[in-house]
Structure 1
């Protein structure tokens, strides 16, 4: 039986510890990247859902036969921890979300609603958790 020197035992233990630390760092990096990808995907999906919900609300107010219609939608206060902006610009509904890593934007077509109604350019932040759609005669706005 050969005798091992104390140096080689210490070296083996240090090397084993270094390999363990390297594996931990690699796994941490992989999961951090995946978490970022999942968060962006979840934010994109939520922004799409809110965009469709608000566009549907505007279209339902427009098709209401009454001259004065007021409808309040409950919307999420934030998406991925950030407040977002809802804009009615021209004949489009636009939602903007600024995340630390990137900016997301969604446009929803309102199916030529501007040919029948006057869409007032409006800008609303999601901080209050609700959105009011108002139709007075042939004018539609969001607050």
Structure 2
């Protein structure tokens, strides 16, 4: 288990984040979270001690940022970067708590999904939302499901 302490801007305490870190033998269950170019599981288990994480939160977050081409957002959409950062942090959390069908969607996330979600949420009023993180995580999964459904039911144009 990996614990990440969170603090407010003024240094106060916030709820901690906890992540279960799979042993190398269990990595085949979550292929998108496997370290790239890693040695075989038997070699890996010999090289890591029990208290070292095989594929921790930082590595998973970096994997998500690579998949969505984070640098594009930093360069071309700096005013939206706070939301992109938030989504990047939520994707590994969603993956850990989602059903297999949703995990497949999360594994396919691209920059287009992020841009689409930013447009989808633009201009909404969140004043009545008590838990913004949970609300946006739910909205993001619903958005991905709806987009998948639209793609699956789209009728190709007749030529």
**TM norm structure 2:** 0.23
- Whichever of the two has the greater Rg, that structure is 1
Specify which structure has the bigger relative contact order, considering alpha-carbon pairs within 8 angstroms and separated by 6 or more residues. 1
**TM norm structure 1:** 0.25
**Which structure has greater strand proportion?**
1
